[in-house]
Amino acid sequence: MKYTVIIEQGENSWGAYVPDLPGCIAAADTREGAIALIREAIEFHIEGLAEQGEPVPAPHSSSELVEINAA
């Protein structure tokens, strides 16, 4: 499965979250670190849902870069 991951750069760190998996987040000092941790977080999150007998949400979010002309 492939989930959309949103990656944000903060002042001192990077964060990542998965819109289709509420509460599935990660933070690290680098972008690469945040990506590695969110991958682990997704796996852990899905395992937890399965253990609790909860349904695993199917990926349905997507993203698009939209270019605008700045004034």
How would you write 26-71 as a 3-class SS string? Answer: EEECCHHHHHHHHHHHHHHHHHHHHHCCCCCCCCCCCCCCCCCCCC
pLDDT of residue 65: 93
Rounded mean pLDDT, 65-71: 90
CATH number of the domain enclosing 2: 3.30.160.250
Per-residue pLDDT at 71 exceeds 90: no
47, 41 Cβ separation under 8 angstroms: no
The range of the structural domain enclosing residue 37 comes to 1-71
- Residue 2 carries which DSSP code? -
C-alpha 23/C-alpha 30 separation (Å) is 21
Query: And the tokens for 29?
Result: 């000092």
Based on the structure, what is the number of domains in the chain?
Answer: 1
pLDDT of residue 4: 97
**Residue 20's pLDDT band (cuts 50, 70, 90):** very high
Per-residue pLDDT at 19 exceeds 90: yes
pLDDT of residue 6: 97
